[in-house]
Structure 1
Amino acid sequence: MIELNIYQKLIEVRKAVPYLKKEAQGKQYNYTGSSQVLSSVREKMDELGLLLIPRIISKQVSESAIEFIGDNGHVTKRTITYFTELDLTMTWVNADKPDETIECPWYGQGVDIAGEKGVGKALTYAEKYFILKQFNIATDKDDPDAFQEKAEQYRKPEPITSKEIGLLKTKVLEFATLREKSDTDVYKVLGVADVTGLSSKEAKEILAKLTGWITSATKELAKKEKKGA
């Protein structure tokens, strides 16, 4: 079994979770919850032996008072909102080689009314968004199939291989001979001006088309020869 380094392990985790559907519901919108994000990578991290260790570098808490005014113009209620900001480092550790680590500076924030949960909320916020950004996990409103289609559109197409070029030219010549046409005529019908400018996917589609044409042309020729005999 090939032993992966820490970077290769992180890539394997990224491959495992390309997309997360927004399942948690707020008052006005759906969102991706922290537990959903963590559970999506936990199994793969355990399998590969990856640890993520957060460490708080500094903390800042600011207070903001909110007053509620009644119909009589007097203050009926007063609350204090605590806004906690954390500067952290998120450290990846390869459990198979503990000296192999990657340290990333990060930031977290949390809002709380009671005051005692600010740090916890900020840590949860930091961990959730760190994982989403570390592994480039998409959280579009689209379904996973639609996301995959988008990813395919954005991905640069693979160029045609030399093997595919040779095979395509052979098929074109074979079909041209069967139809008593030139290879230029066949390329014109296929809409191909330059074989080398095709992508691998386009080449495969054209090869499939040519194979069908050759099969049909061969059958037609066999029938004619049978009648002539």
Structure 2
Amino acid sequence: MTEQLNLYQKIADVKANIDGFTKDTKGYNYSYVSGSQVLHRIRNKMIEHNLLLVPYTENEEITETKNTKGKTEHIVKLKLTYKWINADNPQEILEVPFFAVGQQDDVSKAHGTALTYAERYFLMKFFNIPTDEDDADAKQKQEKYNKASSQTVGVLKQEVLSFVDLMRSLNKEVSQQQAEQTFGIQDYTSMTEQQAVNTISKIQNMANKYKENSND
């Protein structure tokens, strides 16, 4: 006899079988994983386990605002509750509170936008699907956490050497190693892109100060 899974075990199995996402939708100059793709990936497992996901809405609030062009737009805010129900044992229910906001030139569009985006973000967060790719500031995050590119490292090394040459031209004996210690460079290969860029900026600023002082 097949073991009967409880609600949490069924949800865990759905989560364990989520993979292979691709950024299939574009908007506001960035790409992201669409809600329909997430639903498509979990649908078969939900059917297999007789899982139901039912949204409930309440406390809907509608306000008006002006966009940058001076046109009226409607903002819809509402409280959402997503209910996971084990259809094999309907008494097993997991309620997850959520919130939705949508803004459009039409109230019905704003309502639809709120529900669509909320569903997508709920599923992404609930199943712990990485969402860096759908953030508007993804490029900044990528630069902050990614390893420094070979090109950036090359520029950084050249800035260090140029700084050493500058010091020597000012009759200051500074070795490359000393310069690297001064600017907190321990290992070029372990630096992130953002760290390397910041260090380049520090070196250039200090070099400019020495040049200004030498001209006084």
- Whether these two folds match at TM > 0.5 is yes
Contact 2:60 2:79 in 1 (8 A): yes
**Alpha-carbon distance in structure 2 between the residues aligned to 1:113 and 1:29:** 22
Contact 1:20 1:139 in 2 (8 A): no
Corresponding position of 2:27: 26
Corresponding position of 1:138: 130
Instruction: Label 1:2 to 1:41 Cα distance change in 2 as closer, same or farther (>3 A).
Output: same
Contact 1:45 1:51 in 2 (8 A): yes
Which stretches in structure 2 are left out of the alignment for 5+ residues? 134-216
Corresponding position of 1:35: 36
Rg larger in structure:
1
Instruction: Label 1:95 to 1:80 Cα distance change in 2 as closer, same or farther (>3 A).
Output: same
Q: 1:103 aligns with which of 95, 111, 128?
A: 95
Contact 1:21 1:139 in 2 (8 A): no
Q: Is 2:82 the counterpart of 1:81?
A: no
**Alpha-carbon distance in structure 1 between the residues aligned to 2:75 and 2:16:** 35
Q: Over aligned residue pairs, what C-alpha RMSD do you find?
A: 1.7
Q: Which has the higher contact order (CA 8 A, sep 6+)?
A: 1
* 1:1-229 → structure 2 map (5 Å cutoff): 1-18=2-19, 20-66=21-67, 68=69, 78-141=70-133
State the shift of 1:31 in Å.
1.1
State the shift of 1:117 in Å.
1.6
**Alpha-carbon distance in structure 2 between the residues aligned to 1:100 and 1:66:** 45
Letter aligned with residue 67 of structure 2: I
SS in 1 for 2:108: coil
Letter aligned with residue 89 of structure 1: T
Instruction: Label 1:14 to 1:132 Cα distance change in 2 as closer, same or farther (>3 A).
Output: same
Contact 2:51 2:87 in 1 (8 A): yes
**Alpha-carbon distance in structure 2 between the residues aligned to 1:123 and 1:27:** 19
State the shift of 1:60 in Å.
1.3
SS in 1 for 2:90: coil
Letter aligned with residue 39 of structure 1: H
State the shift of 1:20 in Å.
2.2
State the shift of 1:115 in Å.
2.1
Contact 2:76 2:107 in 1 (8 A): no
Which stretches in structure 1 are left out of the alignment for 5+ residues? 69-77, 142-229
Q: Deviations over 1:25-47 (max 9, x none)?
A: 22411111121121111111111
- Give the number of equivalent residue pairs: 132
Letter aligned with residue 56 of structure 1: T
Contact 1:82 1:115 in 2 (8 A): yes
Contact 1:108 1:126 in 2 (8 A): yes
Instruction: Label 1:67 to 1:123 Cα distance change in 2 as closer, same or farther (>3 A).
Output: closer
Contact 2:76 2:101 in 1 (8 A): yes
SS in 1 for 2:129: coil
Please give the TM-score of this superposition, normalised by the length of structure 1. 0.54
SS in 2 for 1:116: helix
Q: Deviations over 1:134-164 (max 9, x none)?
A: 11112455xxxxxxxxxxxxxxxxxxxxxxx
**Alpha-carbon distance in structure 2 between the residues aligned to 1:51 and 1:44:** 11
